[in-house]
């Protein structure tokens, strides 16, 4: 009887897991496109496919490495009405204390400070910083905490990194609140990363992304000029934001990246720390190369990555990518954490999204699509800055890597969606 009860219990648990998976899974159609127009003529299409609207009249500034935080903290300290802060990874340390101090000071000054942190990524926030912000009056909320009512969404993480000041200035990118993001990528203890400073009507879209998760976690509706003011043009850059993740449909960030790859005419340059493309993406890269597109991908090597297991999972598809004509570059010195893709020197994607199943299928992410040749040039210059220190992977040499390396690549690839 005991054996029957144990078997029945295991069966019920497995059935529940299958039910939860089937409820939470997204449809995964095989994407295909027939289009000959260049990417800069397809902005309404890219925006429409990702359930957003392209807005003109914006300015964009690029901030690299630890210098970003000087700008960010100054912006927080200048807030007159509201500060909305959302991130995935926050660990106790020097940087965490600086950010907690800035947010706390604004809250004590009577400004509305809302902080949304992923419960898993920010589990090492530290009790002191948590207490400090709450005591100061910050509204501090954790996304998908480990509770019974969240059992169906525990694998869904909030990976966005964004800040909105007074509804008029926004920051979007890859920077995390960890001491490793300070400095200037000078060694393996200091990472490279990139974020954007934004002004103009696109700030309303970034605010909408924050509002989406804030309402979902708290029920508080954000209304009025403090959060959604009428915004005048601040430049001449056209931008659209991809962040929605509809139930039963492919997430916007996946559609955006795939479509852009399929319509590239000249070149696709990618900088991403976790590059594990799905088979259909590899085919799209191969099709691009056959059209004469220069496809290059820069990522950290296992020695530079903060998670070598992920890089080994990435290695599993290197041979197919190389056979397709994709050029692969590994940076050995530290983690390159920027998430950037430029197309044809005129359009760019920048945000929080890694190039893997977890970002494209599961996480909450945000990526900005930017039509502006000057911005694309600056982002390509970042690629070119790190490229001389990279090792370019060559097909014949790669095929000769050892059996132990190959075994790790294939084993870790099996669990790539969980990494």
Burial 77-93 (b: 16+ CB within 10 A, else e): eebebbbbbbbbbbbbb
* Residue 364: closest CA among 89, 159, 119: 159
406 is catalytic: no
User: Which positions ≥6 away from 250 have C-beta within 8 Å?
Assistant: 26, 27, 28, 29, 31
Task: Classify burial at 153, counting beta carbons within 10 Å of its beta carbon; exposed 0-12, middle 13-18, buried 19 or more.
Answer: middle
Residues 396 and 401: their CA atoms lie apart, in Å, by 9
Pairing of strands 267-271, 237-242: unpaired
Catalytic residue among 84, 161, 254, 315: 161
344 is catalytic: yes
* Residue 167: closest CA among 85, 225, 123, 254: 225
Catalytic residue among 159, 312, 333, 408: 159
CB contact at 8 A, 217 and 158: no
Catalytic residue among 118, 166, 179, 357: 166
Residues 229 and 129: their CA atoms lie apart, in Å, by 31
Name beta bridge partners: 240: 369
* Residue 41: closest CA among 344, 251, 289: 344
193 is catalytic: no
Catalytic residue among 40, 179, 193, 344: 344
For residue 384, give both structure tokens.
């070119």
CA angle centred on 262, ends 258 and 266, rounded to 5°: 125
315 is catalytic: no
- DSSP-assigned letters across all residues of 231-286: ----SSEEEEEE----TTS--HHHHHHHHHHHH-SSEEEEE-SSB---HHHHHHHH
339 is catalytic: yes
* Residue 366: closest CA among 69, 184, 116: 116
166 is catalytic: yes
* Residue 358: closest CA among 224, 159, 211: 159
Residues 98 and 397: their CA atoms lie apart, in Å, by 46
Does an H or E element contain 55, and which? strand 55-64
Catalytic residue among 339, 356, 408, 409: 339
Catalytic residue among 111, 190, 315, 337: 337
Residues 415 and 419: their CA atoms lie apart, in Å, by 7
Q: Which residues are catalytic?
A: 159, 161, 166, 337, 339, 344
């Amino acid at each position: 009887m005991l054996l029957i009860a144990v078997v029945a219990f295991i069966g019920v648990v497995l059935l529940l897991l299958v039910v939860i998976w089937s409820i939470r899974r997204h449809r995964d159609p095989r994407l295909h496109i027939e289009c000959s127009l260049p990417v800069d003529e397809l902005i309404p299409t890219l925006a429409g496919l990702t359930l957003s609207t392209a807005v003109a009249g914006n300015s964009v500034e690029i901030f690299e490495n630890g210098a970003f935080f000087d700008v960010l903290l100054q912006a927080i300290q200048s807030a007159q009405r509201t500060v909305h802060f959302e991130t995935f990874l926050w660990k106790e340390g020097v940087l965490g204390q600086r950010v907690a101090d800035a947010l706390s000071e604004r809250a004590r000054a009577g400004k509305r400070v809302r902080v949304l942190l992923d419960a898993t990524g920010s589990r090492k926030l530290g009790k002191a910083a948590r207490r400090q912000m709450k005591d100061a009056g910050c509204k501090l909320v954790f996304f998908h905490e480990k509770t019974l009512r969240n059992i169906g969404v525990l694998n869904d993480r909030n990976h966005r990194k964004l800040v909105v000041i007074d509804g008029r200035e926004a920051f979007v990118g890859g920077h995390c609140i960890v001491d490793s993001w300070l400095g200037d990528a000078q060694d393996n203890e200091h990472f490279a990363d990139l974020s954007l400073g934004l002004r103009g009507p696109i700030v309303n879209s970034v605010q909408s992304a924050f509002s989406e998760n804030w309402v979902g976690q708290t029920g508080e509706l954000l209304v009025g000029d403090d959060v959604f003011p009428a915004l005048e043009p601040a430049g001449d850059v056209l931008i659209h934001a991809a962040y929605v993740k509809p139930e039963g449909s492919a997430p916007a960030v996946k559609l955006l990246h795939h479509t852009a790859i399929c319509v590239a005419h000249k070149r696709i340059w990618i900088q991403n720390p976790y590059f594990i493309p799905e088979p259909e993406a590899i085919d799209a890269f191969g099709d691009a190369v056959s059209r004469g597109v220069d496809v290059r991908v820069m990522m950290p090597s296992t020695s530079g990555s903060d998670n070598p297991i992920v890089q080994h999972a990435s290695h599993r598809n290197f041979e197919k990518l190389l056979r397709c004509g994709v050029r692969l570059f590994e940076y050995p010195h530290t983690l390159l954490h920027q998430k950037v893709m430029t197309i044809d020197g005129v359009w760019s994607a920048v945000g929080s999204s890694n190039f893997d199943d977890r970002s494209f299928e599961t996480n909450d992410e945000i990526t900005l699509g930017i039509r502006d040749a000057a911005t694309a040039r600056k982002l390509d210059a970042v690629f070119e800055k790190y490229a001389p220190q990279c090792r370019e992977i060559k097909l014949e040499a790669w095929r000769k890597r050892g059996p132990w390396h190959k075994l790790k690549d294939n084993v870790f690839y099996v669990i790539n969606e969980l990494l």
